[in-house]
Amino acid sequence: MSDFQVIPAIELRGGMALRYESVGMGTRANRVEPIGFVRKFVEAGAGMIHLYNLDGPFIVSQAEHSGSVLAGAERNLSVMGELAKTFDITVQVSGGVRDLESFQMVTSLGIRRAAIGSAAMQNPALVQAAVKHAADAVVIFIDVKNGRMVAQDWIKDSKATPAQVAAKVREAGVKHFIFQDVSADARGNGPSVAEAAQIGGDVIITGGVQTLDHIKAAAATEGISGVLVGKPLMQGEFSYEQALEYAKAGLAARS
């Protein structure tokens, strides 16, 4: 399924992966050994995984932080590098990649893609520097709420559309994007596939992907190359194999 990928989105905390389970009316996060946890998805056919570095803000802040938070961030970095060496897949990470130093640190571990969030929207020079260093490793979050950018300094127009901003970012040499509708999870009616499809380039959706039908709808939409699937997959609401089947069905529906 080279035209569309279902990407497990795994959270790392203190060097451990988080697996969720339903408890009463809520959920509980259990810490599990990450290599074996990822191996299950790879053996099921995953060609890419996304790692959310929950200790990310402390990646390069050794002068400002110490103790458990810094130790957790360092363990996460170690795990990221080990995963990149262990599996012949694309490892993509986010969390704490907010300057050129942290981008270089992450990519030096053998990680193929490093996603930059709000820092990319606030600092076009950072994106340009990262592209110069390793263009194919650069992934930029396009954060949207109610059809508008959450924040951006690429176009001096507060009404600039996500597609217009993304076009400017592409001009800087960026190929890969993650489209994130920050209100999609709360709405519960699925990701904003039509809006994401207007971004251009290689676009992965996150936010609002809660059911197998959401995956199918994204796969059926031209201009979308994948979805990040987090808690529903981590909680076992459906299997990775089921997600792939729905993605194949959606991809077959593309005209």
Residue 112's alpha-carbon distances to 47, 81, 104, 203, 212, in angstroms, are 12, 10, 11, 16, 27
Give exposure, 184-215, as e/b (b: 16+ Cβ within 10 Å). Answer: beeeeebbbbebbbbbeebbbbbbbbbbbebb
Q: What is the pTM of this model?
A: 0.92
Can you read off the two tokens belonging to residue 19? 């697996």
Between CA 108 and CA 144 the distance in angstroms is: 30
Contacts of 5 (CB under 8 A, 6+ apart): 46, 47, 48, 204, 225, 226, 227
Tokens 């990319």 correspond to what residue?
A: 120
The pLDDT of residue 64: 46
The pLDDT of residue 67: 45
- Which tens digit of pLDDT belongs to each residue from 39-74? 999 999 999 999 999 986 655 544 444 444 456 678
The pLDDT of residue 65: 45
What domains can be seen in the chain, in order of their start residue?
Answer: 5-250 (3.20.20.70)
The pLDDT of residue 23: 67
CB count, 10 Å around CB of 147?
Answer: 10
Between CA 191 and CA 220 the distance in angstroms is: 13
The pLDDT of residue 57: 66
Question: What is the β-pairing status of strands 113-116 and 138-145?
Answer: parallel
The pLDDT of residue 189: 80
The pLDDT of residue 63: 45
The pLDDT of residue 183: 86
What length does the chain have?
A: 255
| Local mean pLDDT, 10-residue blocks, the chain (255 residues) | 87 91 72 94 97 76 47 83 96 93 92 96 97 98 94 92 97 98 82 95 95 97 96 92 97 86
Contacts of 75 (CB under 8 A, 6+ apart): 14, 15, 55
Residues 93, 51: contact at Cβ < 8 Å?
A: yes
Tokens 């969720």 correspond to what residue?
A: 20
The pLDDT of residue 255: 62
- Which tens digit of pLDDT belongs to each residue from 100-132? 999 999 999 999 999 999 999 999 999 999 999
Rounded to the nearest 10 degrees, the angle between the axes of helix 240-252 and helix 212-219 is 40
Distance from chain centroid for Cα 102:
17
